[in-house]
Structure 1
């Protein structure tokens, strides 16, 4: 199975949201089937073939997630990030400000789903590139 070090190596190549599809393809080849990202501290939970699961450590000091969801502003800034206009640290802070608490990437369905603090789905997108 894969390791957090292998995933970190793939993630190190990501400079903007435009690089995300290549990253997804690379970690899928490692055996990742899905992962969750927690905006509050950067912890990632990676899933492989059942029952394999591994967590990354927290990546930064805790961020407060805005209780008031601003889905319209989030969608606008997500598009800018995907167009390569912002880096990942900015994107994470923007998620917190706009009330996005986490996201789940499903590498079998090729979707990325964003959730608010209540765990309610805010937006689901298809990931380009397969």
Structure 2
């Protein structure tokens, strides 16, 4: 079973969205099958191969998530983040401002799905490996 310390060690090596594929490979090697990241306070729930669950604590003071989703703005800013133009906290604040509530990473399909507060899909992306 993986530990939060192992996941955090892998995450510390990620300085921008451009390095995200490295993080994905590292946690997949730990047998993480999916995780759910919550924009409001930064906590993440990691799910393992054998129904293991590891939950992180909140990482920052709660953010208010916008009710109205600005999908086009989100896509533009997400691309900038993936190109390494923003740091992670800037990306998180932008997500809150455009109505992204959480994302779910699925290792089987190597996808990242972003959701609004009512559980509607905003965007599904393939994760490069």
TM-score when normalising by structure 1: 0.98
Runs of 4+ in 1 over 3 A off after TM superposition: none
Aligned-residue offset at 1:50: 3.1
1:94-124 per-position Cα deviation (integer Å, ceiling 9, x unaligned): 0000000000000111000000011100000
Give 1:74's aligned residue: 74
- Supply the distance in 2 between the matched residues of 1:51 and 1:34 (Cα, whole angstroms): 11
1:12-47 per-position Cα deviation (integer Å, ceiling 9, x unaligned): 011100000010000000110000000000010000
How do 1:80-119 and structure 2 match up within 5 A? 80-119=80-119
**SS of alignment partner, residue 108 of structure 1:** coil
How do 1:41-56 and structure 2 match up within 5 A? 41-56=41-56
Unaligned runs of 5+ in 2: none
1:53-99 per-position Cα deviation (integer Å, ceiling 9, x unaligned): 11000000000000011000000000000011000000000000000
**SS of alignment partner, residue 33 of structure 1:** strand
Establish whether residue 15 from structure 1 lines up as the match of residue 15 from structure 2. Answer: yes
TM-score when normalising by structure 2: 0.99
